[in-house]
Amino acid sequence: GIQVEQSPPDLILQEGANSTLRCNFSDSVNNLQWFHQNPWGQLINLFYIPSGTKQNGRLSATTVATERYSLLYISSSQTTDSGVYFCAVVYLGSQGNLIFGKGTKLSVKP
């Protein structure tokens, strides 16, 4: 089956710093989503981005489908950005279930 690998597994930032999270996937996909799981466990949709670039405030994401990777950029990080960031894909030919990476655990220090 498709492999979804995220890096780095852990990231510690000082408030105000920028960061880039990476997601590599091993097969063609027709759905890619980024989620933020907050400290209370809620999975929050950040982006639906099977290809191209999107921005939402301090967050932006880019997916290069032909090279099988996606990047999530966080600028001017805040303590509320702490949590785990998941990349999840639906691979081409699948009927729709998301395959999740193991996540990047982000801690933003004040």
Partner 1 sequence: DAGVIQSPRHEVTEMGQEVTLRCKPISGHDYLFWYRQTMMRGLELLIYFNNNVPIDDSGMPEDRFSAKMPNASFSTLKIQPSEPRDSAVYFCASSPRGRVQKTQYFGPGTRLLVL
Instruction: Please identify, using beta-carbon distances, which residue of 17 and 43 lies nearer to partner 1.
Output: 43
Closest approach of partner 1 to the CB of residue 60, in Å: 17
In whole angstroms, give the CA distance from residue 3 to residue 27: 8
CA 4 to chain CA centroid, nearest Å: 11
Residues in the chain: 110
Instruction: Please identify, using beta-carbon distances, which residue of 12 and 92 lies nearer to partner 1.
Output: 92
Number of residues that bind partner 1 (CB under 8 A): 22
According to CB under 8 A, which one of 58, 102, 107, 109 is a site residue for partner 1?
Answer: 102
Token pair for residue 43? 């999975």
* Residue of 69, 67, 83, 61 lying closest to 12 (CA atoms): 83
In whole angstroms, give the CA distance from residue 93 to residue 20: 29
Residue 96 as a binder of partner 1 (CB under 8 A): the answer is yes
Residues that bind partner 1 (CB under 8 A): 30-31, 33, 35, 41-43, 45, 48, 50, 86, 88, 90, 95-103
